[in-house]
């Protein structure tokens, strides 16, 4: 058994889950889902409309709360001014009773009183305007809720329809995936490899992945294809999966031009998984066997 492959057998068995389907026909998160029947399109349209209405509802509720807060503040100021007016009125009566000749004091108090009355009237106007705005917001809120209730399905009904639609879309997705695999089966290994490399360079990982998997199935450059699948998993930070692909690759061919990268990325993946002891062994093998590689030099 090779010295490289032996490194992988000292690792614990790492479980991993299956990738989610990458060909999500009718994906409801898409702006333009495809593969839908007219009734399904109506459901999607209802969903978008409801989300829009919910957004408007939140905005109106915020406006209402803001206006209500302003109204409460205006009422408080108005009450304070009203209390001051009452105090000044009382003082004027006291002065009149004590000394009718103190006209200057009375005039000063009357000036203050007029100023307070003016503020009082301004606050009453603001308060009235706020009340009118609140009534308008409440009316719009009521109309919006009525519109949601009368024109669109309830949340429970929508969820049921959505569950049914998802089952249909899952079947459609399966059919489309089988069709894609069928079309790939008509291409040669060289064609598939060229397409896979091209998609990988463009970071179209899902399209590259399905082609590398096909190459492994037909036995065309399986070591390279497993390495590339490991690279895809590595770039997506799926480190457990990356290690599994790297292990399969080096078991098939340990002297490939990409072996230094494979060893380095295996070590990094183990480090990311908090397995520093195992990672150091791969880094040591890399430095010992490929001292002039850029990967080995990066460890210095």
Using 50, 70 and 90 to split pLDDT, how confident is the model at 287?
very high
Higher pLDDT, 225 or 155: 225
Locate 287 and state its tokens: 């430095």
CA 260 – CA 273 distance, rounded (Å): 20
> What confidence score (pLDDT) does residue 2 get?
58
User: Taking 60 as the threshold, does the pLDDT of residue 249 lie above it?
Assistant: yes
Q: Are 145 and 199 contained in the same domain?
A: no
Confidence of residue 1 (pLDDT cuts 50, 70, 90): very low
pTM: 0.47
In-domain check, residue 122 = yes
CATH of the domain at 59: 1.10.287
Q: Within 13 Å of residue 255, how many CA atoms lie on the same side as its CB?
A: 1
- Same domain, residue pair 118 and 214: no
Decide: 234 and 269 in contact? Cβ < 8 Å.
yes
Is residue 156 located within the same domain as residue 199?
A: no
DSSP 158-182: HHHHHHHHHHHHHHHHHHHHHHHHH
Residue 101 lies in a domain: yes
Residue 220 and residue 247 in contact, taking contact as beta carbons nearer than 8 Å? no
> What is the number of domains present in the chain?
2
What pLDDT, on a 0 to 100 scale, did the predictor assign at position 125?
A: 77
Do 225 and 158 share a domain, yes or no? no
Place of tokens 């305007």: 129
CB atoms within 10 A of CB 239: 22
Say yes or no: 146 and 113 in one domain.
Answer: yes
Q: What is the pLDDT of residue 247?
A: 94
Does 144 share its domain with 205?
no
For the ranges 30-39, 77-86, 257-266, the one whose mean pLDDT is highest? 257-266
pLDDT digits (tens, 9 = 90+) for 16-69: 433 333 334 444 455 555 555 566 666 667 777 777 777 777 777 676 677 667
Predicted local distance difference test score (pLDDT) of residue 35: 56
Token pair, residue 148, equals 């949601």
Inter-residue contact 206 to 22 (CB < 8 Å)? yes
Query: Could you say which of 162, 196, 226 is where a domain stops?
Result: 162
240 is a domain residue: yes
The least confident of 98-102, 174-178, 225-229 is: 98-102
In-domain check, residue 244:
yes
Residue 280: domain span:
187-297
Residue whose pair of structure tokens reads 């699948």 in the numeric block: 229
Percentage of the chain beyond pLDDT 90 is 35
pLDDT at 32: 56
Are 130 and 44 contained in the same domain?
A: yes
What's the mean pLDDT when you consider all of the chain?
Answer: 75
Which CATH number goes with the domain that contains 290? 1.25.40.10
| Domain annotation covers residue 214 | yes
Asked if the structure places residue 281 within a domain, the reply is yes
Asked if pLDDT for residue 84 goes beyond 50, the answer is yes
Lowest-confidence pick of 83-87, 214-218, 253-257: 83-87
Q: Decide if pLDDT at 112 tops 90.
A: no
């Amino acid at each position: 058994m090779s010295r490289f492959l032996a490194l992988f057998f000292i690792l614990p068995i790492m479980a991993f889950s299956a990738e989610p389907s990458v060909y999500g026909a009718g994906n409801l998160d898409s702006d333009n889902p495809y593969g839908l029947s007219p009734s399904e399109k109506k459901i999607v349209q209802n969903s978008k409309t409801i989300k829009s209405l919910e957004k408007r509802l939140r905005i109106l509720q915020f406006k209402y709360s803001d206006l209500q807060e302003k109204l409460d503040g205006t009422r408080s100021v108005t009450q304070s001014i009203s209390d001051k007016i009452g105090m000044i009125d009382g003082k004027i009566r006291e002065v009149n009773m004590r000394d009718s000749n103190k006209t200057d004091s009375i005039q000063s108090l009357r000036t203050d009183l007029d100023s307070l009355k003016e503020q009082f009237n301004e606050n009453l106007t603001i308060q009235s305007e706020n009340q009118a705005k609140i009534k308008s917001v409440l009316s719009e809120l009521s109309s919006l809720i009525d519109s949601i209730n009368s024109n669109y399905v309830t949340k429970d009904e929508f969820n049921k329809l959505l569950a049914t639609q998802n089952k249909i879309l899952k079947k459609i997705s399966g059919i489309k995936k089988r069709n894609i695999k069928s079309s790939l089966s008509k291409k040669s290994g060289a064609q598939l490899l060229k397409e896979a490399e091209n998609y990988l360079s463009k970071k179209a990982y899902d399209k590259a992945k399905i082609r590398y998997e096909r190459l492994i199935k037909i036995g065309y450059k399986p070591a390279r294809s497993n390495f590339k699948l490991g690279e895809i998993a590595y770039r997506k930070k799926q480190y457990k999966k990356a290690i599994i692909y790297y292990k399969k690759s080096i078991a098939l061919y340990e002297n490939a031009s990409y072996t230094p990268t494979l060893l380095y990325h295996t070590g990094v993946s183990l480090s990311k998984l908090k397995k520093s002891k195992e990672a150091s062994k791969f880094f040591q093998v890399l430095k010992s066997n490929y001292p002039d590689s850029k990967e080995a030099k990066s460890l210095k």
